Structure 1
Amino acid sequence: MRHHLLPLTAALLAIATPSVAQTAPKVEEASIADLKAMIASGAATSESITQAYLARIAAMDRSGPTLRSVIATNPDALAQARAADTRRKAGKALGPLDGVPVLVKDNIETKDPIATTAGSLALKDNVTLRDAPMVAALRKGGAVILGKTNLSEWANIRSNNSISGWSAVGGQVRNPYALDRTPCGSSSGTGASIAASFAAVGIGTETDGSVVCPSSINGLVGLKPTIGLVSRTHVVPISHSQDTPGPMARSVTDAAILFSAMIASDPADAVTKNADKYKRDYAAGLAGASLKGVRIAVRRPTMGADLAKAFDAALAVLKAQGAVLLDVEMPKLDGLGAAEFAVLLSELKGDLNAYLATTPAAVKTRTLKEVMAFNVVNAATEMPYFAQETFEAAEKTRGLDDPEYLGARAKSKRLAGVEGIDAMLAKANAQILVEPSYGPGWLIDGVYGDQYNGPSSSELPAVSGYPNLTVPMGLVRGLPVGLSFIGTAYSEGTLLGAGYVYEQASKARVAPRYLPTADVGPGMDGVR
């Protein structure tokens, strides 16, 4: 069985570099439209574009800035690209993603000959040869599956002291804007790789913050969709109440194109039964979007002066585009965090055990308990920085029929939705809530783990199942920050339209420079 894990192989370097050294298309900062224009003009092919991305990964992910954002490249990627070129020449192109390379987070299965590891050595042989339905939808549209991205191991759920972007399989992902700063997680590899132009677009997954945070901190657009629009089948799970894949890109348009291709009802994932009702081309209407007269609720969380200045500048852009801004306060939501955590622990045990039971016979860890035992035996490689106390707490839960779990789920959803987002929108008579997505990236710290010191927009939409779109809000002392657009269920079209208007008016995104460290001065919040 062929499969690629770290490091990148000599064979990859051979196929990726010599053939494109003189005629490689320029893929740095290229959008989907740019790639399609290169192909249409004859300046490039899907194959040459795929080769260019592979060469860029080889040059920058394990050497150069050494981002460690790609955990495995797909040995079948060039064949998929050649097939797209053949379809196009025959006049049978499949859609806007046909021939476009896409990177996929390594907790999402693809039928390519590469493992789905969730960053853990326990799953190094998890070569399932099956597509997650979401990946199958991308493949149906002709997307080239370029490879798998690194992530916070087990999607950041093993320990409360974990390090965003570290996995035993992939090592430590680094932020392309400042290499000593966190890429945030758990979709850290997707965030860093798309920021670094290793592909035009990529897929992350979120349970609470894992699309929004790495998108914000790596200067990207990221959409955490409404729960039920994108299938979770064959995705290594944490929580069926909150898990969802989501698109990550350098522009709202590209995120919308990718999102449109991901939506589909899946009989194996009952929550998606109505997804097909919402399947449409979300990029088609962006150019005509307007904020004139649109009422927007504004939440101003506690933040440092630098981030507040950037947020005020973003609000000024929204107001200049005609939006009506109305300040709202966060309601008192006592007990939300504890209730959410109780839900995640119970669902992690049940959902992960169900997933592991479907893995190939080569995978010897068939339950959460067996994964924990594997980690103990392999502590030198699996637990050099942090332990597995969250796994241990999950193993002690009493199942999905436990009244405490059922009560926690009802409470958390009510607080986040009806008493949280719904209440703030109702108070302002608004469709959209905006706030800073996260503060700037903190220092990577192998001793103390992640240091979340700034604001976060993720909890309420994550727990309620509502969408959250983050759009680049510029740099704060050289580090990206994002602006979140939050709405109620199935409001993705509204959020993408608002985000597009803001993006086009602000032009706030700045490309990364791969600096060794950021220009951080005194008084900076969330980065020390």
Structure 2
Amino acid sequence: MQKNLNTLFRSRFLKSFLLLSFSSLMLFSCGSDSNGGQNRPFELLEATIADIHDAYSSGQLTSRQLVQLYLDRIEAYDQNGPMINSIITVNPKALEEADQLDTTFQSSGFVGPLHGIPIILKDQIDARDMPTTLGSIVLKDYYPDHEAFAVVKLREAGAIILAKATLGAWGGGDTHGSLFGSTRNPYDLERTVGGSSGGPGGSITANFATVAVGQEGYASIRRPSTWNALVGMRPTAGLVSRSGVYGGWPSINGSLGPMARTVTDLATLLEVLVGYDPEDPLTARGVGHVPDSYTEFLDKDGLKGARIGVLHESMNRNSEPDSEDFQKVTEIFERAVGELKAAGAVIVDPVVIPDLKELLATRANGPDGDESFKRYFGRSANPPFNTREDVLLAPDFDKLFPTRKRAFTRPPRDPGEAESRHYQYLMARDELMTRVLKVMADHQLDAIVHKSIEHQPTLIKDGVNPPYVSSKGAPDLNTFLVFVPTITVPAGFSSDQLPAGISFLGRPYDEGTLIKLAYSYEQATLHRRPPDSTPPLPE
């Protein structure tokens, strides 16, 4: 864990409870509402962007008070109590930035749609005044020279970057890393939050901030969103810039995406994130595909008459369909399909994508990873590494998490073989894209639904000991098809109180339709509930 996090907490420890008590009194001050009565007191737990902005407008709350309340929860539950261990670095200027927003609000009102909204970033995304560690001890002191394009957009919209969160080390696998250890799932502290955007997942479900930005290469947004009862989206490649994000251009596989407790907050965050960035040429593909607003698609009746195809086939090569926890997830998914029908959807069950598993099995990494590595660190004048080979020379290399160490020391494949495998993958990806879109066209589908994750959260002990179980049950379909969007929504809890999700997969750049369908399902079911391990703090 970063030293600056503990230092910040210690310096604030004696006054935090006094500040909390003062803030609580302020939050229960009264004003007028539309019914002519008193405002409902602001409740921090599960607060949405709209709740927070209403509290700002009514005078119940300031940005400083909100930031302090979230910091108090981080102190109480992340490094104490259940020790979720989801935060690597707290923004040392978060309170100062909140004060600036409060001053602006007094003189001219909201600066943008995310005014005063505390946001957590996966620690793969560059932001000023904070290191980008990738969860690895060899990067604990790396402070990038420039912010990510997405972070600049967030700040322009009024957001407060509250903290940077844990992740699967170097942006891969479940959330274990040499810098911080393992992040615990707030719904079951013996289990992982998933990954690789596990810190954002665990922190948002624990109400350490309002929303988060994750990054997905292989189900890295959808898995932690599912296992933490959140809404998460991997947008179509090209909508959101990856400049200033490890694993960006020229690779097209990684995508930034929103993670939230509600579909409405996800849509609001997505509106801010999208846009063309010359430093990430892939975003040129998104030009002309962004609607005026994603929130305009929020429609409680969005499922009425919508044609939804149901994909049952298991997609993860490590899934175990005969296992008990796979069956528990299946039960929740089947119930969710019934809920879609009850909400008015026309269910096409089943849909079959020809040769799905065979095509998915061709997945292979290409040569763009090395160039992406160089471009990312090349944004800084004095990067810690120039090539992947340089990492092997780091003094603390032997302390890397075993699977990451293995990835760096693995002998390179024969160039001819690697090129051939990657070519086969690209051909298979194009073919699978055609087959998915043909199935949707043949059945006139608005979306295809499938299990967000096919298994329940992995036990931490199984992830940190051989054979290092990771990414179990993560469907590879959307990961494979980078130019189709997917949104996952909470679908309920198993008998042992572990969350599961349902994913809606749509056509390229059709995020609006997915938001409409997901919102309608969310409002019809309201499956989201916060974990018991991180309750409201005492007043």
Partner residue in 1 for 2:532: 513
Query: 1: distance between equivalents of 2:378 and 2:421?
Result: 23
Select between 4-13 and 488-497 the one with higher mean Cα deviation: 4-13
Contact kept? 2:169, 2:404, Cα under 8 Å: no
**Counterparts of 1:403 and 1:505, CA distance in 2:** 48
Q: Tell me if the contact between 1:151 and 1:189 (Cα under 8 Å) persists in the aligned partners.
A: yes
The answer to whether the Cα contact below 8 Å between 1:54 and 1:198 also exists between their aligned partners in 2 is yes
Alpha-carbon distance in structure 1 between the residues aligned to 2:407 and 2:450:
30
Worse-matched range after superposition: 33-42 or 67-76: 33-42
Q: CA deviation at 1:125?
A: 2.2
Contact 1:126 1:359 (C-alpha < 8 Å) held by counterparts: no
Superposed CA offset, 1:121-166 (max 9, x none): 222222124221111111000101101011110011xxxxx6x111
SS for the counterpart of 1:287 is coil
Deviation readout 1:244-276 (Å, 9 max, x if unpaired): 110000010011111111011001111102435
1:286 aligns with 2:286: no
**Which residue of structure 2 lines up, in the alignment, with residue 321 of structure 1?**
343
1:332 alignment counterpart: 355
Secondary structure at the aligned position of 1:297 is classed as strand
Opposite residue 443 of structure 2, the aligned amino acid is: A
Write the distance in 1 (CA, Å) between the matches of 2:140 and 2:445. 48
Structure 2 residue 366 is matched with structure 1 residue 356: no
AA of the residue aligned to 1:310: I
Residue of structure 2 in register with 1:72 after alignment: 89
Q: 1:424 to 1:5 in 2, by over 3 A?
A: farther
Q: In structure 2, which of residues 332, 346, 365 is the aligned counterpart of residue 342 of structure 1?
A: 365
| Structure 2 CA distance for aligned equivalents of residues 394 and 289 of structure 1 | 54
Cα deviation, 1:53-79, whole Å, max 9, x if unaligned, reads: 011101110001101101100011111
Deviations 1:338-381 (A, max 9, x none): 542233xx2322211222233342x432210111332xx53553
RMSD: 2.5
**Equivalence for 1:263:** 274
Instruction: Provide the rounded CA distance (Å) in 1 between the counterparts of 2:384 and 2:199.
Output: 26
| Aligned equivalents of 1:300, 1:334: Cα separation in 2 | 12
Residue 10 (1) aligns with residue 27 (2): no
Rounded to whole Å, the distance in 2 between the matches of 1:364 and 1:511 is 40
2:411 & 2:269 partners in 1: Cα distance? Answer: 34
Taking structure 1 as the reference length, the TM-score comes to 0.88
Q: Give the 3 Å change call, closer, same or farther, for CA 233–403 of structure 1 in structure 2.
A: same
- 1:21 counterpart SS class: helix
Q: 1: distance between equivalents of 2:3 and 2:78? A: 18
Alignment of 1:25-40 (within 5 A): 25=27, 26-40=43-57
CA distance in 1, matches of 2:18, 2:498: 35
Alpha-carbon distance between aligned partners in 2 of 1:272 and 1:16, rounded to the nearest angstrom: 43
* 1: CA distance, partners of 2:360 / 2:12: 45
The answer to whether residue 423 in structure 2 is matched with residue 407 in structure 1 is yes
Q: Secondary structure at the match of 2:304?
A: coil
Deviation at 1:308, TM superposition (A): 2.2
**Partners of 2:126 and 2:16 in 1: CA distance:** 24
Give the superposition deviation at 1:99: 0.7
Moved more, 224-233 or 16-25: 16-25
Aligned residue among 181, 192, 209 for 2:191:
181
Cα deviation digits, residues 421-452 of structure 1 (max 9, x gap): 22332342212000110132121122132255
Deviation of the 1:12 alpha carbon: 4.5
Tell me which residue corresponds to 1:246: 257
The within-5 A match list for 1:99-138 is: 99-111=116-128, 113-138=129-154
Which residue of the partner structure matches residue 521 of structure 1?
A: none
Counterparts of 2:419 and 2:14 in 1: how far apart (Å)?
A: 58
* Aligned partner of 1:300 among 299, 308, 312: 312
- Name the stretch that deviates more: 494-503 or 38-47: 38-47
Point out the more displaced range, 259-268 or 129-138.
Answer: 129-138
Q: Which runs of 5+ in 2 are unaligned?
A: 28-42, 315-320, 535-539
Partner of 2:448: 433
Is the 2:73–2:208 Cα contact (8 Å) retained in structure 1? yes
- Listed as ranges, the matches of 1:121-270 within 5 Å are 121-156=137-172, 164-237=174-247, 240-270=251-281
Q: Which amino acid aligns with 1:370?
A: D
Q: How far did residue 397 of structure 1 move?
A: 7.0
Match of 1:470? 488
Q: Rate the CA distance shift 1:219–1:295 in 2: closer, same or farther, 3 A.
A: same
Q: Are residue 479 (structure 1) and residue 498 (structure 2) matched?
A: yes
Residue 9 of structure 1: how far off its partner (Å): 3.9
Q: Deviations over 1:469-512 (max 9, x none)?
A: 00000111211101000011101000010000000001111211
Unmatched 5+ stretches in structure 1: 157-161, 516-528
Question: 1:28, CA displacement in angstroms?
Answer: 1.5
* Superposition deviation, residue 82 in structure 1: 1.3
Q: 1:386 to 1:509 in 2, by over 3 A?
A: same
Preserved CA contact (<8 Å) 2:478 2:505: no
Return closer, same or farther for 1:117/1:6 CA change in 2, 3 Å cut-off.
farther
- Which one is further off, 460-469 or 329-338? 329-338
CA distance in 2, matches of 1:458, 1:72: 31
496-505 or 310-319, which moves further after superposition?
310-319
Query: Aligned in 2, Cα 1:59/1:432: closer, same or farther, shift over 3 Å?
Result: same
- Quick check: 1:96 aligned with 2:113? yes
Tell me if structure 1 keeps the 8 A contact 2:133–2:139: yes
* Pair 1:333–1:284, CA change in 2 (3 A): closer
